[in-house]
């Protein structure tokens, strides 16, 4: 699933999911800020994208909203499951570290 812009692929599918070509930034990264209604200029600066890259990402999201939104929800669910897993796995370690006296200095 790709989107072509000026003869170059702007959005590509990698092992990480839908990604802005030439970057490691996924559309799911961008969706976090789109969902929170941040302006495109802010998102562009945050990820150090070109005008063409942010425009391609936003256009792709708009044109394929249902598909991108479904994948985004899956990514959010998996991230929460991982967070819970590591929270539980590290519970004893965190409690042990919290019980230790602070190091001098």
Model confidence pLDDT, tens digit, residues 35-78? 999 999 999 999 999 999 999 999 999 999 999 999 999 999 99
- What pTM did the predictor assign? 0.75
Query: How is the chain split into domains, by residue range?
Result: 3-99
CA angle (60 as vertex; 74, 49 as ends), nearest 5: 95
User: What pLDDT is stored for residue 43 in this prediction?
Assistant: 97
pLDDT tens for each residue of 26-42: 999 999 999 999 999 99
Residue 3's φ and ψ, nearest 5 degrees, are: -120, 130
């Amino acid at each position: 699933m790709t989107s072509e812009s000026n003869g170059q692929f702007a959005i590509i599918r990698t092992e990480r999911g839908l990604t802005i070509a030439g970057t490691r930034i996924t559309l799911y990264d961008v969706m976090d800020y789109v969902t929170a209604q941040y302006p495109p200029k802010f998102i562009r600066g945050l990820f150090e994208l070109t005008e063409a890259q942010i425009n391609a990402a936003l256009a792709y999201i708009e044109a394929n909203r249902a598909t991108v939104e479904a994948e985004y929800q899956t990514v959010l669910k998996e991230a929460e499951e991982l967070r819970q897993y590591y929270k539980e796995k590290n519970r004893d370690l965190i409690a042990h570290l919290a019980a230790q006296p602070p190091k001098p200095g």
